[in-house]
Structure 1
Amino acid sequence: MDPGGASPRCRLLLAVCWVVAAGTAAEAEVLPPPSNLEYSFIQICTLNWTWSPPENISSSCDLEYSSDIVIGEVPQDKREWSKSRFRVTDMFLNEEMRFKVRSECKHNNASKPSRWVETSLPPKGIPGTAAVDLSCVWHNLEYMVCTWRPGENASSDTNYTLFYWFDGLKKHKKCSNYSVHQGIFGCIFNLTFPKVTNTYPAISILIRDDSEEIRPVCASKNPTTLVKPATPRQVTLSKINDEIHVEWSQSDTFPKNCLFYEVEYHNGDLDTAPIIKVENTSMSIPSVDPNSKYTFKVRANPKPECYSSKLYSDWSEEKSIGEKTDSTFYVVLIIAIPLIVAVSTIILLVYLKRLKILILPPIPDPREILKRMFGEQNEDSQSCAKDDSLNAYDRLIKEEEIHSLILTETPEYANSEKEN
């Protein structure tokens, strides 16, 4: 075969392949995107996104839609594929929320997915005014307690209001039992379901203020993760021989076999406090020390097959049984007895000394008696002599005064007689 004749054939073959490839590429065109993307509010914190199918789609196209959510420029990785032309999502009011969707022909390589089409829901209110640290607890399947703190930019007179809704309510409800303690807001509302319920709907919670300046906040809570049982009540202890029996009452609001219990007991002579897990409402401790005091308390926790909550109830009031030998009494007694004996001895010695003086008074010395007697007489005689001399002197002075008075009055009397 002439090599020079083969060259036109190769060129022709290459041209044919290029035409086929170009035709195939032309057929694999990009699908048009969905149209009329919009949202509507179903209930509080719940949005319904809807869109229309792309136009001029081949009937052989198995059309599906891919959608995703972006919160504050961060994709939430919640992409879903569906043939439906709507999607219900939770609402995020504290940040900008964007929803995007595109169309694609599944199981068909003749076309490429369309471009993304998106719309957004901008936040309202002043940043930093929304409620923060929202926390809710479902107490004993009877009522829910939600607490939150005010936003850092919220004014002191901000009046937050809580609304809640779940599937089964015709209309959202407003919480009315509010409280404020040390800057923490709280609200309590009743929340009950039939005991036979195996699944529980999500609880949508909206916290906002009547002022448009306060940014609202939404949250969706799975109630099964918030369950906190009530504290076990009517804890009773009984002792039979060397065994202690513990029993308590079961909550009426929980389905049967949906709680397990922890029993902590403490032996007064030991520092450890063992915890025993039981599924019933009673237990026994064998081989107890008859001379020790035992203290018990009980708490409840939901079983994981019923609820996803890891919250324990509060501990019950402690109950005790048995008598513990109080060594402190003996220590005090050992210290007190010698002290009492010592004090009593001192008091007795002082008392005996006084008693000895009363019973056996000291014998006086005769010489001292005579000395005191004569000494007193001398003092009396000297005192008398002194008194006599003083009296004589006084009499002498008085007589001189009388004589001088007589002498003074006599001339005057003589003169008066001469005049007469």
Structure 2
Amino acid sequence: MIFFLQFFPLFVRFLPMANRSGALPLLMLIFLTWRGGMPCCAITVDPPEDLAVLDSGRLGRLEIVWRLPSSLMNMTKCQLQYQLEYFNAYKNKWEVLRTLSTTYSAQFDLSKDVQVKVFTILNGECTNNKMIKSKDYSELLVKPPNTGIWDTEATDFTCMYHNMENLECIWTSSQRTPASAQQNLFFWHRLLEQAVECPSYIFSGGVRKGCNFTGKPLPEFSDIYFCVNGSSSEGPLKPAYFSLQIQNHVKAAAPDKLNLQTRPDRHLEISWENPAGKFSVDCLEWEVRHHHVGADGTILSKQIHARNPSLTLTFNNSSEINCFKVRSRLNSYCVDKSIWSDWSPETCHPEMKNIEPTVEPEMTLVSVYIYIAVAIVAILMVSLCVWAAINMKKSKPGKKVDSLLPKLIPKTLTLGVSKICSSKKITTDVMV
């Protein structure tokens, strides 16, 4: 503008000359083009002010708030918007968006730094309809609270959505977790106002190791956030945060009722029923494990992928043995990732009869007592014989072993023991 005021007298002086020479229209066009391209030097675009984050107890769902810059409070001829950038620790990348509002809700991992940047953007008549972004920005960096015993956070957090009906989540306690610790699980999703605690804990050895969500439905295709924290006599445990969508953790039940049927054209039809559950049949895929024993005894095994709950194979002769088992999972068209079910029981053609092992009859309690009594009596008799032999060596030659027995055992056993002892040949000579 100052440049225009300086050269305006020269422009007015040159105007009659341009009019006489016919160059006036060209001169006016150049002037208008130059004027339209002039920068809006009078407008300064400052970054937002009073940037802050507010925690409302939703496990990292924070409200980012700011205020428009004071220099633009009276701006009426321009549209004011903001460019928000924040670091998403769950995805390990910066998220960038533009908004007309001065507040935005975003999810953060509270165990890591909260990083936020906000720019101011002007666009409209005051900028000749050109978008101008502030060179500077407001920035916020919030460190996670340094609370909890070091290295006591839970690890290996995994969830299993059985048949899309029952969700179970388990975790592993740190080796540094005190024995007196009591761990807790809290979760939050978009349908909850506040984070809530696990409805039913899973125990192992009297210690909480997981959570069962039976009867507590959770939304599918929606991020669910978990926090495992705890307390102990030594102080609070370090919290750990996790995020997942439950439809990516479905484990279907094993297929059942596997049927085999032969056809006259030497084809073998295998079919099975879909596992029970609320998932769509179109979302299922199967894997068939085929175990083949040929007529010459050769054994082959292979995996067969199936899109339908049936399969048809050829077989050469009736002396072959074909065995099958099946498992299922949700395909990639329905979920981002899936888990294979357990294998179904194996079914063979021709049917193989299992030979049950012969079970030896169990010893009764009475027979055990008899065996023990016989063993005790035998040990006692042998011990007496040895003791008697030792005493014979010390006594006079004319003294007999039988004379000692009535003092040691009842009369009913004296005769039997005497016979046993007298039948042994006792040698007192020693050869050198």
Provide TM-score, normalisation by structure 2: 0.61
Identity among equivalent positions (%) equals: 22
Name the CA distance, whole Å, in 2 between partners of 1:113 and 1:181: 59
Equivalent positions of 1:345-364 (< 5 A) are none
Runs of at least 4 residues of structure 1 off by over 6 A? 181-184, 191-194
Name the CA distance, whole Å, in 1 between partners of 2:322 and 2:57: 58
Name the CA distance, whole Å, in 2 between partners of 1:78 and 1:253: 35
| TM-fit CA distance, 1:190 | 2.8
1:29 aligns with 2:53: no
Name the CA distance, whole Å, in 1 between partners of 2:107 and 2:134: 30
1:201 aligns with 2:222: yes
Name the CA distance, whole Å, in 1 between partners of 2:328 and 2:149: 43
- What amino acid sits opposite 1:267 in the alignment? H
Match of 1:151 in 2: 174
1:233–1:248 contact (8 Å) kept in structure 2: yes
Change (3 A) 1:234 1:193: farther
| TM-fit CA distance, 1:182 | 13
| TM-fit CA distance, 1:93 | 2.7
Name the CA distance, whole Å, in 2 between partners of 1:259 and 1:284: 19
> Structure 2, unaligned stretches of length 5 or more?
1-6, 12-34, 124-128, 353-432
SS in 2 for 1:29: coil
1:162–1:175 contact (8 Å) kept in structure 2: no
1:255 aligns with 2:270: no
Pairwise CA RMSD of aligned residues?
3.5
| TM-fit CA distance, 1:299 | 0.8
Equivalent positions of 1:80-99 (< 5 A) are 80-99=97-116
SS in 1 for 2:213: strand
- What amino acid sits opposite 1:277 in the alignment? H
- What amino acid sits opposite 2:287 in the alignment? E
Name the CA distance, whole Å, in 1 between partners of 2:122 and 2:241: 36
Q: Which of 88, 92, 116 is the equivalent residue of 2:138?
A: 116
| TM-fit CA distance, 1:94 | 2.2
| TM-fit CA distance, 1:287 | 3.2
| TM-fit CA distance, 1:141 | 0.8
- What amino acid sits opposite 2:110 in the alignment? L
- What amino acid sits opposite 1:179 in the alignment? F
Name the CA distance, whole Å, in 2 between partners of 1:217 and 1:178: 18
Match of 2:158 in 1: 135
Equivalent positions of 1:186-335 (< 5 A) are 186-190=210-214, 200-210=221-231, 213-241=236-264, 242-250=266-274, 251-269=276-294, 270-322=298-350
Equivalent positions of 1:169-184 (< 5 A) are 169=192, 172-180=196-204
Instruction: Name whichever structure is richer in helix by fraction.
Output: 1
Q: Which of 69, 72, 75 is the equivalent residue of 1:54?
A: 69
Name the CA distance, whole Å, in 2 between partners of 1:75 and 1:100: 16
Name the CA distance, whole Å, in 1 between partners of 2:351 and 2:184: 54
- What amino acid sits opposite 1:217 in the alignment? A
Q: Which deviates further from its counterpart, 201-210 or 143-152?
A: 143-152
| TM-fit CA distance, 1:163 | 1.9
Name the CA distance, whole Å, in 2 between partners of 1:158 and 1:234: 46
| TM-fit CA distance, 1:312 | 1.5
1:68–1:76 contact (8 Å) kept in structure 2: no
Change (3 A) 1:61 1:81: same
Name the CA distance, whole Å, in 2 between partners of 1:181 and 1:289: 55
| TM-fit CA distance, 1:224 | 2.8
Name the CA distance, whole Å, in 2 between partners of 1:94 and 1:148: 17
Change (3 A) 1:75 1:224: closer
| TM-fit CA distance, 1:221 | 0.5
- What amino acid sits opposite 1:52 in the alignment? R
Name the CA distance, whole Å, in 2 between partners of 1:75 and 1:201: 19
Q: Which of 149, 160, 184 is the equivalent residue of 1:126?
A: 149
Name the CA distance, whole Å, in 2 between partners of 1:44 and 1:314: 34
1:126–1:215 contact (8 Å) kept in structure 2: yes
Change (3 A) 1:192 1:143: same
Higher Cα Rg: structure 1 or 2?
1
Name the CA distance, whole Å, in 2 between partners of 1:220 and 1:60: 44
Match of 2:59 in 1: 44
Change (3 A) 1:268 1:60: farther
Name the CA distance, whole Å, in 2 between partners of 1:109 and 1:302: 48
SS in 2 for 1:43: coil
SS in 2 for 1:247: strand
Match of 1:373 in 2: none
1:48–1:88 contact (8 Å) kept in structure 2: yes
1:264–1:296 contact (8 Å) kept in structure 2: yes
| TM-fit CA distance, 1:191 | 7.3
